[in-house]
Structure 1
């Protein structure tokens, strides 16, 4: 029916939601219900709930009965547990009463016992103080400082007294107030005894006294303070001595000052500057050799004994002291040099003397401390003055070079002598130290290189410098003069280095020797244009042999002596004239000889090459060519003086002699010799192959003819291809072409030279 309800509808009904969910607002339809309608809904809902409750009880009555039974049991157990808890609380309260009262009594007794112990300890300390302070032993130890063991024991006792009195519990006790003052007085006495012993021990180098003082300070636990004090005093001595050493001034001319007027300055007395400077150097020598040396030795002794007592904290102590000394001295020297021009001039201008004093100190310390080696003595103190001295030194070396080239004319030997004297002076005064000598040697090298640069800037270039047709041009004379000046500078410098041999460091001598090599290089560059022109002219003369028709004459008239060729006469005359006119004025004959050797080697190479290219070559022509080979040595004699013809480059001379010996032989013998030697120390196979072309038939063209080249172009190609394999390959082309021609013409045999030439050409394939 429409008014029937169930549980689900009650939950979803808006009217019942106000009971199930408080705070829910009712909709308008619900608000319009009358009281009767609301009561009716409530009555129906109660009926539904009763029915639902009845159904649940009927359905789950066994479970409900079981839960009710367990609830009753739990209530019984809880009642029993409550009784047990009450009993436990009573027992705990009873036990607490038995523990608290004994604890309080024990705590009170403990406080009393602790106070008794503290009082007993204070009394014991006071008793110990009284015993140590008022015993006759301590007084006897202090009153007898000569016995080191006594004073050391006294220091130990005083330190123990200080530790005892340092307890705050003893402060304010009248019984030891006077004792505290006595301990302070005794400590001062012992400290003074130890200080005096340490000072005296260091002065006398008495390690026993120094060791005793260190043990006293160590027992008093003021060792670091005492060592710092000693170091401070030592630095103070050095500082004081350094300032006094540099306190020099020029005496003023009193007569001048009396007559002085406005604008007139006081002048130093004549002749006093040298005396003052002498005094300055004496003071500096005394500063380093006495004051600094003494303090360093004392500090080293102190450090050694400190380390013997296993005080590792002082390891490197002397090194630190030396750094402090150099720091102070460096500061004083810089300040004094800035304040006094005399000191500045002395330390910078005569730096080697300053360095010698320093090195003497270093040497003495090294000899004195050789077994220990505690000092690492650097030269930082000298650095500002060394830099200034080296700056002046390089100026003194470079200024003569700039001066001698300031005029338009070339320098004179007198001006070079001034530079040599400067070099000698600078190197001589620098010999006090190897490092300084090396640096000065580098400066000498710079001066030599500057001289070379100035000479190079004054050289004449172009055609005027390279012509070899006429007499020497003014430009060539200028170049020769500059080259001779370079040689003179090198000779004189070498003499200076030789005189200083054994004193000048090897590195410094090597630096100067390297700079002197620049002179030889520049001399070679000066000679290079002339040598190139001579070489070109020689090549032009040798090329004319191909225009000599006598090489192609079929035979020589009977009884006629075979003369050498006209081109050879021209070559001999040209070489002799070139050496006499253009090379004899150069005094550096070693460099001239090197350049001449290159030209001579090139001359032989060209002569041998073109001699093998002459074609056709008759028997008379071959004999004449052999005569030319003999004359070639005469032609080269001016270029290779002193019998040095056999030392030419690339063994060209050996090739000349070997080919001269092969030419009289027949082709078969020539080829046989070449194959036996295989190019080792003999004539290259490519040259012999070119020579065989001279007797070949017209069909067998020479390599340059086959390629359509001139002889000059072939010569250039051979210059660019020195490999024997390449040269033999070039000659193989005409041989292959000749073979093709013979086969095309169906000729039954080859020319007799062809197999021999092919055999030589195949040597190139074998070597590859």
Structure 2
């Protein structure tokens, strides 16, 4: 083992002993170790000391052993240390010599550095002095030039402003205080600057008032040359906003409003004492509320005038700022202002106006409940004042503002005003519904009419017209008003529908009109009057937001009238059909059957017996029902529709009447002629004519009369029959073949009235199928009898029926 390894192993053996671990531990504290050894209750000090002495002796013995064992190595190390000390002594001597050389160099360099530093300071001071002298010279030259330019007058103020700005820049960049020549000129420069700014402020004010772009541009150029243009524009904007806020406060100030109200009362009151106005919500009389509101609206108009005046100035200012540019940087003046303000000039203006308007309205309405109620009740007028403002502003700004499209600057203020919208809309609906409810008596007394009168309808129309007029300037408000009107008109329609009678007496034809029928007519007349009045109002609002809601209400009214009229005339049609079906019990085949009823007018033409009853009922409907209706165009439509229906019923039964000889055909033709005369009398009361206003019905009637007398062989080739229903044509052919070819009444076991009802509920194609079955039934009967020939009517009927079936199948 090497000595080094042996040295490393010996301490390791020593450290492995338990008694020496505490002494070799890191952070060993002798005092603390000694205290721990003697701190026990039964510790023997002598024993502890003996153990320590033994340990010391043991350690000394081990050290001696190590020294003896490594004696040679230790001597070599001592010799090496001696040589190292000699080398270190030489190095130390050389280091000291180096230090002395460094000291000599340092002292020499320090002197030279001091000299250089002093020279540099002299140069810097000389340069500063030279710069100061240059600035003083420049300052004095600019002052001299400034005096010359100022003497030239205001036309040179823009150039003079550049000199002032440069002078101020010199004073700001260089400390020239204490220099007599400079200090002497400073008051003069300040005076010239004040004069220039005064001129610029006056020129800008005149330019904005007069809308003169040249003056505004001149003032802005002066401010730009002075280096204060963005700040001056900002100050101008703040001034506009401050003035508008002041005007807002003045317009909504309750104290001054009440004082002005008192003055108005004193001027208008004649005679005795004057009522004191302390609190409008409780003390102002109802008659004075309108006067108080007019004062508020007048002040609001003055407020909008002030806003408009400032807005016009601001838009002109914006246009000039956008056109002007810095000659050096080529940045527009507007961009410089936007950079300072952090936004567009006009946008910031309208934002400030909107925010302050919102704030003032909140404070004012919170302080006075009466003011809140006036603003809510007069919301359309309040809104219209601002609409007029933005209409005027749009002419200046170039934006679009109308009842349907709003400009960007108007959206925020109008949104603030809309906080009063819901209350106004609610009151508007209440007014409309109250007007409708007032028209209907809750519990009609005996003898009192159950439905509304025309005066009541006129009141409703006036209320509707008023609501539309006050809201027509704004599309959104007009839409809300129209919705309220729609609700009110629908309520009117529903109430009328509930009043409509449905008992049997409402649908019968008697000696005189029944109470239920009169009530139905009254309802129809009032609804028609309301419908016509609203249609006239709607003519002024066609294509607006009110068009759709009001049109829907009018359609509901038309539907109600149709629901009242249709059952009435359908029931009348049933009675007329019952009368027309009586012609099937008359004899149209024998010569002795000419005992016919004479026409009430004294004409010599013979008519059938049933026709007297038919004529009486027609005259009753014309007199008692149609004559009492005052529904204008609707009445004419109903008269024509009812006339066409009666004509259809009579011709249908006449086409099925059998057997008929030539004399019977003449009687049927006389019936048709007299029916035409009666129908012309009915619709003639409405300036209508059968041949002019009911052309198709008149052609059908003439074609049917012609069909009665036309030869069988000519029927397929007669063009007039194109105006007749194919069913009537086939009926006439089958009637001529009576009794060999049966009608559907015989085939299916129906009565003529039942068959007529069946025809009303089925299509023409289905009716032709039923007639085809009749021909088939006839063919089967001929085959059953063993006959080989058909009657002469069968081929004509078959050919026409085949043609009709194909025609309606293709349709």
Same fold, judged at TM 0.5 (above):
yes
CA distance in 1, matches of 2:482, 2:569: 34
1:83-232 equivalences under 5 Å are: 126-135=132-141, 136-137=143-144, 139-140=146-147, 147=154, 149-155=156-162, 158=165, 162=169, 189=194, 194-195=200-201, 197-199=203-205, 201-232=207-238
Pick the aligned partner of 2:561 from 503, 523, 542: 523
1:4-43 equivalences under 5 Å are: none
- Counterpart contact for 2:150–2:157, Cα < 8 Å: no
1:750 is matched with: 790
Mapped pair 1:700 → 2:741:
yes
Aligned partner of residue 615 in structure 1, secondary structure: coil
1:648-663 equivalences under 5 Å are: 651-663=696-708
Q: 1:124 to 1:541 in 2, by over 3 A?
A: farther
CA distance in 2, matches of 1:544, 1:694: 17
Q: 1:214 to 1:267 in 2, by over 3 A?
A: same
Aligned partner of residue 628 in structure 1, secondary structure: helix
- Counterpart contact for 1:484–1:587, Cα < 8 Å: yes
Aligned partner of residue 258 in structure 2, secondary structure: coil
Task: Note the C-alpha offset of 1:308.
Answer: 1.1
Task: Note the C-alpha offset of 1:658.
Answer: 0.9
Deviations 1:469-526 (A, max 9, x none): 464443333333333333444466567x49xx87x67647856566445444323322
Pick the aligned partner of 1:318 from 315, 324, 346: 346
Task: Note the C-alpha offset of 1:158.
Answer: 3.0
Mapped pair 1:532 → 2:570:
yes
CA distance in 1, matches of 2:454, 2:286: 37
Mapped pair 1:305 → 2:342:
no
Task: Note the C-alpha offset of 1:656.
Answer: 1.6
Q: 1:269 to 1:422 in 2, by over 3 A?
A: closer
CA distance in 1, matches of 2:712, 2:121: 135
Mapped pair 1:615 → 2:658:
yes
Deviates more, 1:437-446 or 1:465-474: 437-446
2:258 is matched with: 250
- Counterpart contact for 1:202–1:301, Cα < 8 Å: yes
1:402 is matched with: 437
Pick the aligned partner of 1:282 from 290, 298, 315: 298
CA distance in 1, matches of 2:169, 2:717: 114
CA distance in 2, matches of 1:443, 1:372: 28
Aligned partner of residue 690 in structure 1, secondary structure: helix
Task: Note the C-alpha offset of 1:299.
Answer: 0.9
Q: 1:206 to 1:762 in 2, by over 3 A?
A: closer
CA distance in 2, matches of 1:276, 1:747: 105
2:66 is matched with: none
1:47 is matched with: none
Q: What number of residue pairs does the alignment pair up? A: 641
Aligned partner of residue 617 in structure 1, secondary structure: coil
Q: 1:147 to 1:488 in 2, by over 3 A?
A: same
Task: Note the C-alpha offset of 1:301.
Answer: 1.9
Q: CA RMSD in A?
A: 4.8
**TM-score (norm. length: structure 2):** 0.67
1:29 is matched with: none
CA distance in 2, matches of 1:218, 1:353: 44
Pick the aligned partner of 1:602 from 645, 651, 658: 645
CA distance in 2, matches of 1:401, 1:524: 22
Pick the aligned partner of 2:774 from 729, 734, 744: 734
- Counterpart contact for 1:697–1:751, Cα < 8 Å: no
Deviations 1:186-213 (A, max 9, x none): 9985767655654454345454443234
- Counterpart contact for 1:541–1:567, Cα < 8 Å: yes
- Counterpart contact for 1:464–1:476, Cα < 8 Å: yes
1:547-586 equivalences under 5 Å are: 547-548=585-586, 550-553=587-590, 563-586=606-629
Task: Note the C-alpha offset of 1:702.
Answer: 2.5
- Counterpart contact for 2:520–2:564, Cα < 8 Å: yes
Deviations 1:201-236 (A, max 9, x none): 434545444323423443455433332221111100
1:384-463 equivalences under 5 Å are: 384-385=419-420, 387-409=422-444, 410=450, 411-427=452-468, 440=481, 443-463=484-504
CA distance in 1, matches of 2:443, 2:584: 49
Aligned partner of residue 356 in structure 2, secondary structure: helix
2:102 is matched with: none
2:357 is matched with: 329
CA distance in 1, matches of 2:121, 2:708: 133
Mapped pair 1:668 → 2:668:
no
Q: 1:746 to 1:272 in 2, by over 3 A?
A: closer
- Counterpart contact for 2:161–2:225, Cα < 8 Å: no
Deviates more, 1:135-144 or 1:688-697: 135-144
1:593 is matched with: 636
- Counterpart contact for 1:152–1:215, Cα < 8 Å: no
Task: Note the C-alpha offset of 1:377.
Answer: 4.0
- Counterpart contact for 2:737–2:791, Cα < 8 Å: yes
Unaligned ranges ≥5, structure 1: 1-107, 260-264
1:99 is matched with: none
Unaligned ranges ≥5, structure 2: 1-112, 267-271, 325-331, 339-343, 402-406, 445-449, 598-603
Task: Note the C-alpha offset of 1:129.
Answer: 2.9
Aligned partner of residue 588 in structure 2, secondary structure: helix
Aligned partner of residue 663 in structure 1, secondary structure: helix
Aligned partner of residue 763 in structure 1, secondary structure: helix
Aligned partner of residue 607 in structure 2, secondary structure: coil
1:36 is matched with: none
1:241 is matched with: 247
Q: 1:122 to 1:537 in 2, by over 3 A?
A: farther
**TM-score (norm. length: structure 1):** 0.70
2:25 is matched with: none
CA distance in 2, matches of 1:683, 1:215: 91
- Counterpart contact for 2:461–2:534, Cα < 8 Å: yes
Q: 1:114 to 1:470 in 2, by over 3 A?
A: farther
1:671-682 equivalences under 5 Å are: 671-673=716-718, 676=719, 680=722, 682=723
CA distance in 2, matches of 1:459, 1:470: 22
Aligned partner of residue 584 in structure 1, secondary structure: helix
Q: 1:594 to 1:209 in 2, by over 3 A?
A: closer
Pick the aligned partner of 2:671 from 628, 634, 638: 628
CA distance in 2, matches of 1:644, 1:387: 54
Q: 1:562 to 1:307 in 2, by over 3 A?
A: closer
1:482 is matched with: 523
Aligned partner of residue 337 in structure 1, secondary structure: helix
